[in-house]
Amino acid sequence: MQDAVVLVTGAGGALGRAVQERLLRDGARLALLDRRPPSSDPGGSPRPWTAAVDLLDEAAVAAAVDRVEKEVGPVRSALLLAGGFATAPAAEADLAMLRGQLDLNLATAASVVRALLPRMSGRGEGTIVGVAAGQARRGGAGAAAYAASKAALAAYLRAVDEETARRGVRAVTVFPMGTLDTPANRASMPDADPARWIDPARLADVLAFVTRVGPRARLREVEVHPDA
């Protein structure tokens, strides 16, 4: 990853910060897109390029990607971490909640993919990585809209991967099959045992590895489980 340009969305969260630190140690050059630029400085050199962009605004995303390619360099990999979580049983998850979750977890990724695909396909190289959720695999009691939106993200990236397989572009979905050990999750579940959760730094290791696979090997989906 030395000097490779990696675009990251949702970089301000706990996983996003862990990903930044991991990629900077690998020598990558980072471009961070989010509604608000991340406030944390992960250290390392060069410092990440950042821009505040509404990821649901396709024109704004396309313009931001154009700036990244001109000011930082051709994007080799994109880690699509932006998203959101909402809880409600299926009977209470109205259409507004479902649409909101689809916007946060699918549309924010699709806008970036649409901006990057022609560029990556033209170069014959690129990796796009999305982060789904265990609920997208096994269902999500109490979080039907969230589970559906993450399953939709996985289906979308499968389609992208099939379309681009012969053009040197890969699309991979990573499924964290458990709770991430973040300050927010510890605060919301004070009685749970975080030792049984997934360390964001270890998930960041997996995401960094996925961006480096190839050529002549292809990952499409990866599950990351907490320790037994």
CATH number of the domain that residue 39 is part of = 3.40.50.720
Q: Model's pTM, two decimal places?
A: 0.93
171 domain-assigned: yes
CA 111 to the chain's CA centroid: 13
3-state class (DSSP) for residue 174? strand
Pair 3, 28: CB distance under 8 Å: yes
Whether 44 has a pLDDT exceeding 60, the answer reads: no
How many CA atoms, within 13 angstroms, populate the side-chain half-sphere of residue 111? 24
Helices (DSSP H) in the chain: which residue ranges?
14-25, 58-71, 95-102, 108-123, 134-138, 144-164, 183-188, 200-212
3-state class (DSSP) for residue 114? helix
147 domain-assigned: yes
228 domain-assigned: no
> What would the pLDDT profile of 97-116 be if each residue is shown by its tens digit?
999 999 999 999 999 999 99
Q: What is the pLDDT of residue 37?
A: 65
Q: What span, in angstroms and rounded, lies between the C-alpha atoms of 158 and 143? A: 23
Overall domain count for the chain: 1
Pair 85, 131: CB distance under 8 Å: no
Q: What is the pLDDT of residue 199?
A: 94
Nearest alpha-carbon partner for 35 in 82, 100, 103: 82
> What would the pLDDT profile of 174-207 be if each residue is shown by its tens digit?
999 999 998 888 898 888 888 899 999 999 999 9
Please give the residue range of the domain that contains residue 175.
Answer: 5-223
> What would the pLDDT profile of 3-40 be if each residue is shown by its tens digit?
899 999 999 889 999 999 999 999 999 999 988 765 55
For the sheet with 75-80, list strands across it.
49-52, 29-34, 5-9, 75-80, 126-131, 169-176, 221-224
Q: What span, in angstroms and rounded, lies between the C-alpha atoms of 52 and 48? A: 13
Q: Which residues contact 9 (CB under 8 A, 6 or more apart)?
A: 32, 33, 34, 55, 78, 79, 80, 81, 82, 108, 109, 112
Cα three-residue angle 169-222-203, rounded to 5 degrees: 105
